[in-house]
């Protein structure tokens, strides 16, 4: 019975990730294929070839993003984006949603920002209990000034949905920077801690430097003073 159960679990571990990957890819491609609605109906594959081409919308989406990026990066595009953002700022409800989405996108996708580039280990929700967190900011202005010490902004995600969580302000001296990458931390969070990234620590890196005496009976510390 145990062997039967082991085989069933092994089969699930093979097919479940594969099935989820296929479903997510199918959903993403189907969502991007909706960009074909921008193309006049007589020029769509259904009208020209008589059948749809899966993935063509994904290619069109990439081309649209590339073209938008090229236009936004030059002088004319920056002027247009400035006018567009000014228009968004004048609409009461849209203003708050647009500005929040824009700031979040700049933080996550900008190479110049340090946000979400470091995985931290913090004692949360109480001392002695540790949680994974992502550094969001190290320049906190008034918060840092009023606390009187160097603090770090941290985002503690929830599991298995890491898009929600808590913002906490932690003294920098109480934060431990981990070696794991952001995607590895996300895998650990989404999997409820089941998928743990490998860590090759050097066990000798933190050991005190010691020398043995000629007899080899007792270690002699390097900081020991000579008689």
The tens-digit pLDDT sequence of the chain (227 residues) is 788 888 898 889 889 889 989 998 888 888 888 888 888 888 888 778 888 787 788 888 888 888 888 888 887 778 888 888 888 888 888 888 888 888 777 766 665 566 788 999 999 999 999 999 999 888 888 888 888 889 999 999 998 888 889 999 999 999 999 999 989 999 999 888 888 988 876 544 444 444 444 444 444 444 444 44
User: Is there a single domain that holds both residue 96 and residue 125?
Assistant: no
> Does 114 fall in a domain?
no
- pLDDT attached to residue 201: 66
User: Is there a single domain that holds both residue 16 and residue 102?
Assistant: yes
* Environment class of 185 (CB within 10 Å of its CB; exposed 0-12, middle 13-18, buried 19+): buried
Whether the CB-CB separation of 156 and 131 falls below 8 Å is answered with yes
Q: What domain range includes position 83? A: 2-109
**Number of domains within the chain:** 2
- Structure confidence by residue, pLDDT tens digits, 4-51: 888 898 889 889 889 989 998 888 888 888 888 888 888 888 778 888
Collapsed DSSP state (helix, strand, coil) of residue 157: strand
- pLDDT attached to residue 111: 59
- pLDDT attached to residue 134: 93
What are the helix (H) ranges across the chain?
Answer: 2-33, 45-48, 56-73, 75-89, 92-109, 142-147, 182-190
User: Is there a single domain that holds both residue 72 and residue 153?
Assistant: no
Give the phi and the psi of residue 184 in degrees, each rounded to 5.
-70, -40
- pLDDT attached to residue 107: 67
> Does 90 fall in a domain?
yes
**What are the structure tokens assigned to 108, written together?**
């996550």
User: Is there a single domain that holds both residue 33 and residue 104?
Assistant: yes
User: Is there a single domain that holds both residue 91 and residue 130?
Assistant: no
- pLDDT attached to residue 210: 46
What are the helix (H) ranges across 90-223?
Answer: 92-109, 142-147, 182-190
Whether the CB-CB separation of 30 and 36 falls below 8 Å is answered with no
């Amino acid at each position: 019975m145990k062997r039967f159960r082991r085989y069933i679990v092994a089969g699930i571990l093979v097919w479940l990730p594969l099935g989820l990957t296929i479903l997510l890819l199918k959903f993403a491609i189907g969502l991007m294929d909706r960009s074909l609605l921008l193309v006049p109906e007589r020029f769509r594959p259904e009208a020209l070839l008589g059948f749809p081409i899966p993935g063509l919308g994904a290619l069109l989406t990439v081309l649209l993003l590339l073209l938008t990026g090229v236009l936004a990066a030059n002088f004319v595009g920056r002027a247009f984006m400035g006018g567009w953002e000014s228009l968004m700022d004048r609409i009461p409800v849209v203003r708050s949603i647009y500005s929040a989405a824009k700031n979040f996108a700049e933080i996550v996708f900008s190479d110049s920002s340090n946000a979400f580039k470091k995985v931290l280990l913090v004692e949360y929700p109480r001392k002695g209990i540790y949680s994974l967190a992502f550094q969001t900011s190290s320049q906190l202005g008034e918060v840092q000034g009023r606390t009187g010490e160097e603090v770090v902004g941290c985002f503690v995600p929830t599991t298995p949905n890491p898009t929600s969580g808590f913002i906490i302000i932690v003294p920098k001296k109480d934060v431990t920077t981990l070696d794991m990458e952001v995607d590895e931390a996300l895998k650990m969070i989404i999997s409820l801690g089941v998928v743990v990234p490998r860590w090759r620590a050097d066990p000798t890196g933190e050991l005190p430097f010691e020398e043995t005496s000629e007899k080899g009976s007792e270690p002699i510390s390097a900081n020991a003073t000579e008689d």
